[in-house]
Amino acid sequence: MIHNITGKIDFIESLRGKKATFMLAMSNTDTANIEGITQAGIPGKIYLTPTLDSEFLTTGEVRSLGNVAATPKGVPTPALITRAIHLLNPFSNIELINLGLEKLPKIDYFKIHDFSIKPSGSISDGANIDAQSLFQQGVAFGQKYKCKDDYIILGESVPSGTTTAKATALALGYDASKNFSSSFKDVPNDVRENTIQDALKNISLNDDIFKILGSISDNMIIFNAGFILGLNNSTPIILAGGTQMVCVLLVVNKILEVMQGEIETSNLALATTSWIANDTNSDIEALLNMCNFTINSYYADFNFFGSKHPALKLYDDGEAKEGVGAGGALVYGMINGLNKEQITKQVEEFLK
Which range binds a second copy by CB under 8 A, 6-14, 73-81, 96-104, 128-136?
6-14
H-state helical runs in 21-62: 49-59
Q: Is 237 exposed, middle or buried (0-12, 13-18, 19+ CB in 10 A)?
A: buried
Report d(CA 7, CA 20) in Å as an integer.
Answer: 21
Helix pair 131-144, 219-231: axis angle to 10 deg: 40
Identify the residue among 6, 33, 64, 93 touching a second copy (CB under 8 A).
93
Please, which residue, 107 or 286, has the CB nearer to a second copy? Answer: 107
Report d(CA 216, CA 171) in Å as an integer.
Answer: 8
State the minimum distance, in angstroms, from the CB of residue 285 to a second copy: 20
Which range binds a second copy by CB under 8 A, 15-23, 68-76, 165-173, 273-281?
15-23
Q: Is 10 in the site for a second copy (CB under 8 A)?
A: yes
Which range binds a second copy by CB under 8 A, 7-15, 125-133, 187-195, 306-314?
7-15
Q: Is 18 in the site for a second copy (CB under 8 A)?
A: yes
Residue type, 283: D
Report d(CA 90, CA 215) in Å as an integer.
Answer: 38
Beta-carbon contacts of 32 under 8 Å, excluding residues fewer than 6 positions away, are 38, 40, 41, 46, 47, 159, 160
State the minimum distance, in angstroms, from the CB of residue 350 to a second copy: 12
State the minimum distance, in angstroms, from the CB of residue 340 to a second copy: 13
State the minimum distance, in angstroms, from the CB of residue 267 to a second copy: 9
Identify the residue among 38, 39, 71, 89 touching a second copy (CB under 8 A).
89
Q: Is 308 exposed, middle or buried (0-12, 13-18, 19+ CB in 10 A)?
A: exposed
Identify the residue among 6, 33, 59, 233 touching a second copy (CB under 8 A).
59
Residue type, 47: Y
> For residues 116-175, which are near a second copy according to CB under 8 A?
none
Report d(CA 339, CA 327) in Å as an integer.
Answer: 14
> For residues 252-291, which are near a second copy according to CB under 8 A?
266
How many amino acids of this chain bind a second copy (CB under 8 A)?
A: 30
State the minimum distance, in angstroms, from the CB of residue 10 to a second copy: 4
Q: Is 14 in the site for a second copy (CB under 8 A)?
A: yes
Please, which residue, 86 or 185, has the CB nearer to a second copy? Answer: 86
State the minimum distance, in angstroms, from the CB of residue 214 to a second copy: 36
Element (H, E) at 296: strand 296-300
**Cβ(196)–Cβ(170) under 8 Å?**
yes
Q: Is 336 in the site for a second copy (CB under 8 A)?
A: yes
Identify the residue among 6, 33, 104, 110 touching a second copy (CB under 8 A).
110
Report d(CA 345, CA 74) in Å as an integer.
Answer: 19
Q: Is 35 in the site for a second copy (CB under 8 A)?
A: no
Please, which residue, 37 or 84, has the CB nearer to a second copy? Answer: 84
**Cβ(255)–Cβ(247) under 8 Å?**
no
Pairing of strands 2-6, 296-300: antiparallel
**Cβ(271)–Cβ(239) under 8 Å?**
yes
Element (H, E) at 1: none
Identify the residue among 13, 114, 125, 208 touching a second copy (CB under 8 A).
13
Which range binds a second copy by CB under 8 A, 138-146, 195-203, 212-220, 332-340?
332-340
Exposure string (b/e) for 72-81, b if CB count within 10 Å is 16 or more? eeebbbbbbb
State the minimum distance, in angstroms, from the CB of residue 113 to a second copy: 15
Interacting residues toward a second copy by CB under 8 A: 8-11, 13-14, 16-19, 58-61, 86-93, 107-110, 266, 335-337
